[in-house]
Structure 1
Amino acid sequence: MAEHSPGSPNVIVVFTDQQRWDSTGVHGNPLDLTPVFDRMATHGTHLEQAFTANPVCAPARATIQTGRYGTSTGTFRNQMPLPAGARTLAHHFGDAGYRTGYIGKWHLADEDPVPPEQRGGYQHWLGANLLEFSSDDYRTVVFDDDSEPVLLPGYRSDALVDAAIRFVGDAVGVPAAIGSGSGDDPAPGRAPFFLFLSLIEPHHQNEVDSYPAPEGYAERYHGRWLPPDLAALSAEGGTAHQHIGGYWGQVRRVDEGLGRLLEALRSLEVLDDTIVAFTSDHGCHFKTRNSEYKRSCHDASIRVPMAVRGPGFDGGGRVSRPVSGVDLAPTLLDAAGLPVPEQMQGRSFLPLVRDPGAEWPDDVFVQVSESEVGRVLRTSRWKYYVAAPDADPWHDACADRYVETALYDLVHDPYELVNLAGVEAHREVADALRQRLAERMVEAGEGKPVIEPAPPADANSQRRVDPAVRTLSVRPARLGHQ
């Protein structure tokens, strides 16, 4: 067991659900939705190019918890609980003497209330497996350590932030701090804490397919700015115009909650001793790429906001190299001075914070599951995507045979509107990306794949949206798996 040192930092992860990277001001959103996150990114460390390991809820969450891809943990799609033997952040921090807590949505069990053996080793529990079904915007029902239902008052993200503040207060000893009248540690020798706060916003409310924001918030943003990809594609389908006001309103309220949490840490005199990481499980394309909100290769699905502040990250500036959700767990352990287990498939990006020129790959690997078995290689310039036409996405974690399905030049086409798969002028680029993707798949524990080239396509072809699957494609290439 690794013991914590007297100077071990506290660690908090604030985790949202379905939040696009460009919902933030530091990524160019002009609506001033995230002033708190933007300050955190500016004064701490901003991971400018951060990506999920899978744009599906459960495998993305399993990866964040374990530092392993969904095909390695066994949780490669939804409705697959995290295996009992999986080692999570809670196990690693708990073994080092940290007090661990989980608040909010879990989505890594097979029932609600989540039984103790499926809680990933967290000591304190106030959560629900499927929070979107146990609650709505002003009725937040979670389950406590004893699996008893607890109704938390207020708007849902506020209610969970309030619970997080109570956890922190208990962990640092609020009564002693209030009564001491001094800046001394109110509980000398206390154990540091690790808290995972998992919000549902800005996810849609499933049963009504809406994005319920607090009263008055959606109205602020209806009819205002749309990200360029949504503006280009919404005329051909999707729900962006219908839902964007509520979505932006949810993002704004979450950011206000983040501000209250940071203020509470300051009030309790532990802000400077606490690492706070903010990110999301995946993005949202508002049904413009397929019939769902995510599960596609596009940045709208796979790119997420990520910033970290606190010891080791303050003043780190902007990290421009691509990083993945699989890298977050090893980074947090590394920053806390704890060993990174060899079985983790991610790597700590703390060296990049200290030295932007540190050795680091210029690509991330993303698995796409549930809607299809797909694989993404995303570099700073290129997006390369393959799909397995013969695989059953509900039963097959991976496949032996894939077909090139999408290629985007993100420098000249940042919103992924023109698919270059099969264009002969880009054959050399595609071949190099194909080789690198195969290497990344093997590194992730998959078998070496056969990847077939896309059928020839005309470089002057016009983009279109197939009305049957609402999938962006280019004639005449076979692009039904985007």
Structure 2
Amino acid sequence: MKQPNVIVFFTDQQRWDTTGAHGNPMGLTPVFDRMAARGTFLAQSFSCQPVCGPARSCLQSGMYATTTGCYRNGIALPEDTPTLAHYYKKAGYHTGYIGKWHLAGQEPVSAQRRGSYEAWLGANCLESVSDAYNTILYDNDDQEVFLPGYRVDAMTDASIRYIHDHKDQPFFLFVSYLEPHHQNHRDDYPAPIGYEERYRGGWTPPDLQALGGSVYQHLAGYYGMVKRLDEALGRILDALISMDLEQDTIVLFTSDHGNHFKTRNGEYKRSCHDSSIRVPTAVQGPGFWRGGHMENLVSLIDLPPTLLDACGIEVPDAMQGQSLMPCIRGQASGWQEEVFIQISEVQVERAVRTKRWKYSVHAPHKDGWADMGSDEYEEYCLYDLLSDPYELTNLIGMVSHRKTADHLKARLLRRMEEAGEAVPVVRDAPAIQSGQRRVDTFEIHA
């Protein structure tokens, strides 16, 4: 079997509901939507750690952030941790990385901190060394490289050059954009010139309508960034067609986490809500064509084994996710019924998300920056996603939902143990009388 090329198109802080495939009416993502229709659309896709560095550690290694130790930003991925590049290089691929890394703790990123990638044009903290129209990356020799144009376009140009230069051998290319992440030093979402104006007063997701946050300041620029990313995706797909590589190349589009626009805490992520953890994900290429619309609950941790499996590369035992390939081929039963989320920095929190329920616990006596976990937690959140899909009413402690919380607690403890964490004590939330609310037995397991 011919080895397929692989491209990971990785965005930063992109909400799931920015795409037309998820119902956004703004026309931001026609390329993604077509990719989702022609390939495999993972409609229920979630980050397992909604913050930049930890999420990247999970996607590069296939292991939870508490396993590698990269549970918060600023912790370098251990040099002996095998990455996707390691496995692809071992299988005969050339490997390339372009963009934001956030796993080294140094700038520029030294060769031993690049996760085994061979061709390198990256920056550890791209938002600190570049701006929307001033793209600075570092090459294999640690030399500063200025790329002209809007940052998304500049990185896309470099990606197309890499594809062209390596089109005659199997390659694995990871393109890690900063957009639609905010520009840190001025807390702003700088879209390409003229793009923000297109989306002022546009459709606003219901959670942001209800909770406000910084949405009226930032959403138009954010949408403009999403639009340009979709155009960049189209340019890369066009380049594959022009080089006769489309049918031989797997392209994965996903993001590290979402964006709640300061509605759940004082910034943009690091919460258990879908606005933080749910991301747009679609795949096309060999093994994924006409895979259809999948409603399986998929975690970021499942994508590394899926990519390796799709290329006929043995999935290492160290990886803690599951390959989706049996599901896509129609050969699997018993797929996971929930995704497991670890949350750090603002607090120590753990959560499970099922198709209907969201349940989380936190450790208020711990420091989310200093402490990776805890041996004791308190119940924190419970949402019924059937009646409250935008998580506006926290049901934790309600007497009517006690059995539901107990059931989800058991599932959370099981997932924590499977992830390698010690099984903690979880204290029930104080009881709240529930009025007319009730939960029938059959609903608890949904």
TM-score range, shorter chain: over 0.9
User: What is the CA-CA distance between 1:354 and the residue it aligns to?
Assistant: 1.5
The aligned counterpart of 2:441 is none
Q: 2:240 aligns with which of 249, 265, 268?
A: 265
Please tell me the residue identity of whatever aligns with 1:132. E
Q: Select which of 278, 292, 310 maps to 1:303.
A: 278
1:205 — aligned with what?
183
Asked whether 1:128 is paired with 2:103, we answer no
- Aligned residues of 2:358 and 2:383 also touching (Cα < 8 A): yes
Residue aligning to 2:220: 245
2:439 counterpart residue number: none
Of 426, 430, 433, which aligns to 1:451? 426
Match of residue 326 from structure 1: 301
In 2, Cα distance between equivalents of 1:333 and 1:361: 19
Alpha-carbon offset, residue 373 of structure 1: 0.5
SS where residue 41 of structure 2 aligns? strand
Q: State how 1:276-291 maps to structure 2 within 5 Å.
A: 276-291=251-266
* Cα distance in structure 2, aligned partners of 1:157 and 1:458: 51
Closer/same/farther in 2, CA of residues 77 and 388 from structure 1, 3 Å limit: same
Residue 133 of structure 1 deviates from its aligned partner by 0.7
For residues 155 and 121 of structure 1, what CA distance do their matches in structure 2 show?
28
- State the shift of 1:224 in Å: 1.3
Matched, 1:101 2:116: no
Give, as a single letter, the amino acid of the residue that structure 1 aligns with 2:432.
A
SS, match of residue 226 in structure 1: coil
Segments of structure 1 that go 5 or more residues without pairing to the other structure are 173-189, 462-482
Is the CA contact 1:52–1:304 (under 8 Å) kept in the aligned structure 2? yes
Counterpart for residue 34 of structure 2: 39
Q: For 1:352 and 1:226, how far apart are their aligned partners in 2?
A: 34
Pairing 1:220–2:194 present? no
Query: Quick check: 1:231 aligned with 2:209?
Result: yes
Which residues of 2 match residues 358-377 of structure 1 at below 5 A?
358-377=333-352
Cα shift readout 1:261-317 (whole Å, capped 9, x = no counterpart): 000000000110000000000000000010010000100000000000000000000
Tell me the percent identity: 58
In the alignment, which residue of structure 2 is the partner of 1:476? none
Alignment of 1:410-449 (within 5 A): 410-449=385-424
What is the rounded CA distance, in whole Å, between the counterparts of 2:364 and 2:176 in structure 1? 34
- Mapped pair 1:12 → 2:7: yes
Q: Give how far 1:396 is off.
A: 1.3
Quote the residue 1:169 is aligned against.
164
| Inter-partner Cα distance in structure 2 for 1:191 and 1:26 | 33
The separation in 2 between residues aligned to 1:197 and 1:285, in whole angstroms, is 24
Q: How does 1:140-151 map to 2 (within 5 A)?
A: 140-151=135-146
Match of 2:250 among 260, 272, 275: 275
Question: 1:19·1:202 contact (CA, 8 Å) conserved in 2?
Answer: yes
Partner of 1:342: 317
Aligned counterparts of 2:375 and 2:365: Cα–Cα separation in 1: 9
Residue 132 of structure 2 corresponds to residue 156 of structure 1:
no
User: Deviation at 1:358?
Assistant: 2.6
Letter in 1 for 2:46: F
Report the alpha carbon displacement of residue 357 of structure 1 after superposing the two structures with TM.
6.0
Structure 2 residue 73 is matched with structure 1 residue 78: yes
RMSD: 1.0
Equivalent residues of 2:326, 2:332 under 8 A apart: no
Amino acid at match of 2:184: N
- Residues 33-66 of structure 1: CA deviation (Å, up to 9, x unaligned): 0000000011100001000010011010000001
The offset of 1:359, in angstroms, is: 2.2
Taking the aligned partners of 2:328 and 2:352, their CA distance within structure 1 comes to 23
- Distance in 2, matches of 1:356 and 1:242, equals 47
1:351 to partner: Cα distance: 1.2
SS in structure 2 opposite 1:376? strand
Q: Give structure 1 regions of 4+ aligned residues with deviation exceeding 6 angstroms.
A: none
Q: Secondary structure at the match of 1:427?
A: helix
Give the whole-Å Cα distance in 1 for the aligned partners of 2:105 and 2:133.
25
One of 176, 181, 191 as aligned partner of 2:169: 191
SS at match of 2:350: strand
Asked whether the 8 Å contact 1:319–1:356 carries over to 2, the reply is no
1:353 to 328, 331, 344: 328
Shifted more, 275-284 versus 358-367: the winner is 358-367
Give the count of matched residue pairs. Answer: 436
CA apart distance, 1:211: 0.2
Partner of 2:426: helix, strand, or coil? Answer: strand
In terms of mean alpha carbon deviation, does 288-297 or 390-399 score higher? 390-399
Secondary structure at 2:67's aligned position in 1?
helix
| Aligned equivalent of 1:473 | none
SS at match of 1:438: helix
Partners of 1:133 and 1:34 in 2: CA distance: 27
User: How far 1:191 moved relative to its partner?
Assistant: 2.8
CA contact (8 A) 1:420 1:459 kept: no
Counterpart of 1:87 (choices 82, 103, 106) is 82
Q: Is the 8 A contact 2:126 2:178 kept in 1?
A: yes
Counterpart Cα distance in 2 of 1:357 and 1:384: 27
Letter in 2 for 1:433: L
CA distance in 2, matches of 1:52, 1:78: 15
User: C-alpha separation between the residues in 1 aligned to 2:174 and 2:298?
Assistant: 20
